[in-house]
Structure 1
C-alpha cells in the first residue's frame, strides 16, 4: 500500500542526510573568523582567502566575494558595460535572478527557449533573439549541468557580445575539463546555503579574467567607490550597492571549497547510480549528461510521462501531482521547481518593473517589448512535467552514497510499478480536484 494511503513508508525519518555536509573543520573555520572579526575592517582575511581560493580553483585571476549570487550577476552585467535600454539574452527556464539582475542595470531581459535534454539555453535559438541592442548572453548551468559553451562562445565572439556564466547551481561541474565558473567572459555564482558550494547562509562569487571588468564590478560591490590602494576615498563614481559578503559566511564557504572536488565526485557517482537504478521504471524521464560534461546534481530533475504508463486520459498536471504526493509520503523529499518559465511570471506579464513600467518605459529601451509564454514551448513543457530531487531535502551530496540512491529508486519502483494501480487512482483524484 502507498504511504499516502496509509501504508508503511520506504525511507524512515532521518535516513537521508541533509545538505550542506558540515564537518568540524567547517566549525573551526567559522569560529576562527569570529575571533578575527574585531576590529572591523574590509576586506577581512577570510573574505580575501575565499576570493583567492576561488581564483585558484577556476583559474580566473580576478574574483570578488559578494553577499549573493544575484549580486554577483548584477556586478557582471555592470562590468560588461550593459546600460539602460540594452538587451541581454537569458534562458526562459531559470531562477528569476538570472533575469532580474539585468533589470537592476535598467536593461531589458530577452528570453531564449531551452533544450529538452539539458534544460539549458538552446544555442540554436540564440541568433534569432539578437538585435542591435543586445550586449550580452547569460548562460545558466541549470541543475548542476554546464550549458553548451563552445556553441555559445562562437555566437558571442561573432557578435561581439559578453558571455556571462550563471554558475549558481553547478560549482564543481566541468565542461570539457574546464571548471564551472571559468566558462564565460565573466561568471557569477551563488553560495546560498543549499548550493553545491555553500556559505550556509547567503553569498556569491564574481570572477573575470579582465582587470578592468574587475575594477568596474568592485565599484558596484561597494557603494560605487574606486577603493584606491589600501584605503577608501568615500567618493562614489557610479551608483553602487553594499554587496559585501558576511565574514562568517565567507569562512564557511572557504572551508567547504577545500572539499569541493571530492564532494563533486560523490555527487557525480550518486547521480549516475540513481540514473542506473531508475532505468526501466516507466512514467519518469531521468536527466541526461552529454559527453564531455559532468553534472553535480544540485537538482536531479525528473520529467513525468503518464504516456509511458498508457495513461493518455490523465492530464500531465494531475499525474505530476500524484507522483509528488506519493513520493513525498514515502519519505523522499521531492518538489516542483519553477512552475512556469520566467517570462510568464507576473513581473514580465504586467511590465511594472520597479515603477511606472521602467526599464521598458524609461525612454532608452526599444518600444514594443512583450513576453509571450507560448514563444518558449520547451520551457513551458519542462515546467509542466518537472519534479526535482536534490538541494537540501534529498541531497545527492555526501554523506549520502549509492546505497542511498538505490533507496531513492526503491521509492519510485514502489510508486510507479508495485503500486501503480493506487497511483493511477490518486492521479484521477488529483484530476477531479483540479476541475
Structure 2
C-alpha cells in the first residue's frame, strides 16, 4: 500500500491524465465556422442566413418537438421561455433550491419571484411533494431542473402542475439527450431550455442556448422576444417592435459550430455512458460513498457526477458531513482526482435571492438541499470527452487508494473546524 500523495507518496493519477480537451474540436467543426466567415453572413438577421434555422430544425428533430428557437445563452433561453408564457412582475415560479443560480436569475429578470422547492435526496432533482407545498395563489409556472443530466420526476411534477393549470418549463441546460419514459428532455413541458456553453454536453464556441416547444403561439412569442419584440420579416426587416423584447440572438458562427458538434452527440453520449458506468461500478464498492441513482424510467446524460458521502459508514458518526467532505476533497485532489464542491450554498441562501429570510430558516425549510451541499463531491467536465475512460479509471484508482487510508481521513475530518455552508455564505 503506497503512501498518500499528501504525505509524499506517488499520485494515483499520473500527471497529464485528464480526460482530454472539451469540447473536442474537429476539422469539420473548423470548416463549418470557416464557411460562415467566408460567406460574410455574420448575424442571424443577415439576408439569406441559413445556419441558425438549420440548427433550430436539427435540434427540434433531435428532441422531437415542432419548434426550436436558438438564442444567445441558456439563461436567455429560460428568460425567453418565461416571457413567452407571460411571466411578469409579482408572478411566482417554483424552482429547485439546488441548481445553478441562472434558473432563479431568469425568473427575476422577468420581474417574477422564485419560490424554492427542496430536492429529492437520491436524484438531486425537484421533490414533487415539496413543489406542491410551494404553490401559492400567485404561482404562474413550475420550473424543474434536470440537474447534472438526470431528468426530474416529470410524471409527478406534471401532475402537480396540471391540477392548478400551470405550465411546466424544463431547465434542461445540462441534460442534452437524456430522456424520461422514452421522451427526450425538452419535449416534456410547455417549453424546454438548453445551454450551449462550451462546458455543456452539446457545446458551442462561445455562448448559446435553445428553446423547444410544440406550441405555435409560444414559438412565435419566443422568436419575437429574441429580437426586440419584432415579428419575423417577410422580406425586409421592419424594426417594428410589437412587444417588449431582448437582443438575445445567437450568431451563425455559434450555430454552425453546434450543428457540427450535434452530429457527434449520440456517439459521445454512448462513450460517456460506458466510461462513467464503469467508473461508478468501482466506486459503488467503497463503503460510505453513494453513487448517483438513476431511476428505471429515465436516462442520464452525465453532465456532472455527484457523489454522496455517508459519514456513519466511514466510522465518523457525529462528525459534520462538511468536515468529512473537506477532508476527502483535500486527499483526493492531492492524488490527482479533480473533485469539486460545485455549489457552496442552496439558492435560497444566496444574498441575491434571500431577502429577509435567515440562514436558519433556509436550513429548516430546505434540509435536503443543504445536506447535499455539505455532504457531496462532484466530478465536472473531465469525463465529457469520448476518450475519458482511461482518466476515469485512474480517478477510480485514486478513490480506492484513499479508501485504503481512511484512518488518516478520519483524523483529518475530526480535526476540521465545525462549519457548514452557512459559513461560506456569511463569509462572502
TM-score, normalised by the number of residues in structure 2: 0.92
In structure 2, the partner of 1:305 is 310
1:75 aligned onto 2:85: no
For 2:386, which of 388, 398, 417 is the aligned residue?
398
Q: Across the two proteins, how many residue pairs are aligned to each other?
A: 414
In structure 1, the partner of 2:172 is 167
Distance in 1 (CA, whole Å) between partners of 2:226 and 2:361 is 31
1:132 aligned onto 2:149: no
**Superimposed CA distance per residue, residues 166-219 of structure 1 (whole angstroms, 9 cap, x where no aligned partner):** 000010111111112212110111011100111132110011111111111112
1:213 aligned onto 2:227: no
Determine if contact 1:113/1:376 at 8 Å carries over to the other structure: yes
Offset, 1:322: 1.4
Distance in 1 (CA, whole Å) between partners of 2:110 and 2:44 is 29
Distance in 2 (CA, whole Å) between partners of 1:41 and 1:289 is 39
Distance 1:430 1:101, change over 3 A: same
Determine if contact 1:270/1:396 at 8 Å carries over to the other structure: no
2:163 aligned counterpart, secondary structure? helix
Q: Please show how residues 407-426 of structure 1 align to structure 2 within 5 Å.
A: 407-416=394-403, 418-426=404-412
Determine if contact 1:47/1:251 at 8 Å carries over to the other structure: yes
Distance 1:95 1:137, change over 3 A: same
Distance in 2 (CA, whole Å) between partners of 1:322 and 1:421 is 11
Structure 2 residues not aligned, in runs of 5+: 424-428
Determine if contact 1:173/1:264 at 8 Å carries over to the other structure: no
For 1:28, which of 31, 34, 59 is the aligned residue?
31
TM-score, normalised by the number of residues in structure 1: 0.90
Q: Please show how residues 114-193 of structure 1 align to structure 2 within 5 Å.
A: 114-193=119-198
Structure 1 residues not aligned, in runs of 5+: 353-369
In structure 2, the partner of 1:357 is none
Distance 1:433 1:346, change over 3 A: closer
For 1:92, which of 97, 100, 104 is the aligned residue?
97
In structure 2, the partner of 1:361 is none
Q: RMSD in angstroms over aligned alpha carbons?
A: 2.1
Distance in 2 (CA, whole Å) between partners of 1:105 and 1:38 is 31
Distance in 1 (CA, whole Å) between partners of 2:89 and 2:177 is 34
Distance in 1 (CA, whole Å) between partners of 2:416 and 2:205 is 37
In structure 1, the partner of 2:228 is 223
1:430 aligned onto 2:420: no
Offset, 1:406: 2.5
Determine if contact 1:47/1:245 at 8 Å carries over to the other structure: yes
Determine if contact 1:138/1:163 at 8 Å carries over to the other structure: yes
Distance 1:215 1:433, change over 3 A: closer
Distance 1:379 1:164, change over 3 A: same
Offset, 1:396: 4.0
**Superimposed CA distance per residue, residues 358-385 of structure 1 (whole angstroms, 9 cap, x where no aligned partner):** xxxxxxxxxxxx9734211111111111
Distance 1:104 1:211, change over 3 A: same
